[in-house]
Amino acid sequence: MNDKKADLAGPGIGSYDELETILPRDYKSLLTPRETQKAIFEVKNYIEENLCRELNLMMVQVPLIVDVESGVNDLLDRDGSRTPIQFHISNDYEKNPVDAQVVQAATKWKRMALKQFDMQSGEGICTDMKAVRKDYFLDHDHSAYVDQWDWELAITEDQRNLQFLTEVIKKLWKVIKGAENHVQKLFPQLKTNKYPDLPDQLTFLHAEDILDRYPDLPRKQRETQILQEHPAIFIYGIGWPLKDGYPHEMRAADYDDWVSETLSADGRPMHGLNGDILVWNPVTRRRHELTSMGIRVNAETLKLQLEMADQLDFLSFPYHQAIINNEIPLSIGGGIGQSRTYMSILKKAHLGEVSVTVWPKILKEMCAAKNIHVLE
């Protein structure tokens, strides 16, 4: 059970000795570095345009830094293991200083922004979000630099259900799969039997069902096993404690709703109006997360989740007060990893092939020895 507890947060690779055994040994990029850059922006433009069309979103500006007092920075989980970069702006000779943080994600900010941009039910926003997460172990698909399509859609109370969540996820998958089809028309070498394409349809499973199938395995190993059978899945209900006493993964208590009671397709009681899209990466031969998303907390479920997480003191923040007082819209939203998506669609072995950031010397040398050329 200790392995299960350790598997609740973090990337799951703990050393470069382990990573050396995981990186592919027979890799050759299907695109040159120059072709890769062209393909990246084809995918980017396709996803932004079509995600906005499918979900009725508009592109908006998004912050890189936020005021600490706002409480809108994303803590990513509820165990305190991932903390944002914080700095002091002395401003006006310390007469009017600002304590700021670099965002880790724009999850909370987006919901506040729905009100700022006067979004009504059925309308929403999409952002080209950049962030820094300094507490990751830097491996093949985890970077200190994060780029996401962070999106948020205003909804009504009667849309806070599993059916509506599922409909939105299917639209999102249609866009991702469409981007793959689009870029393969421009770069036909991306279609190869060596690395199968993404499936046309997602398989929807609840975290509890996956635990039932693999009760003795930690979370990431359960995901790896199920992806052998279904290479693209959406996992419902991430954050609620499962029957073994552990959540599928830790989730922050103040954005996704993971406590609401739901029913499975065959009528069994479940919890959670959120989840993740995971795919099998045939290049790395590993699980590959593309997006986390969910219907957001309302006043009732926010209080319950903060109580379960022992974080009721958060209720003093403006963001949390806005939810309690029904001052901002009910919503659904998520973050689609841009570089993660490029890596999957362009059939790359490493995030560094599609994004420019910092990597330790040991990792760059390891990649070079395996014909994986990270961008400098």
Q: Catalytic residue numbers?
A: 74, 133, 148, 276, 289, 292
Q: Which of 312, 294, 295 is nearest to 303 (CA)?
A: 312
Residue-level length of the chain: 376
Q: Which amino acid is at 301?
A: T
CB-based contacts of 90, cutoff 8 Å, min separation 6: 97
Residue recorded with tokens 């996803």:
47
- Torsion (CA) 360, 364, 369, 374 in degrees, nearest 10: 160
Q: Which amino acid belongs to residue 345?
A: I
Distance in angstroms (rounded) separating the CA atoms of residues 254 and 194 = 42
Total Cβ atoms within 10 A of residue 294: 27
CB 115 within 8 A of CB 327: yes
What's the rounded Cα separation, in Å, for the pair 28 and 240? Answer: 41
At 195 the three-state DSSP class reads strand
Cβ proximity of 345 and 195 under 8 Å: no
Residue 140 to residue 281: CA distance in whole angstroms: 12
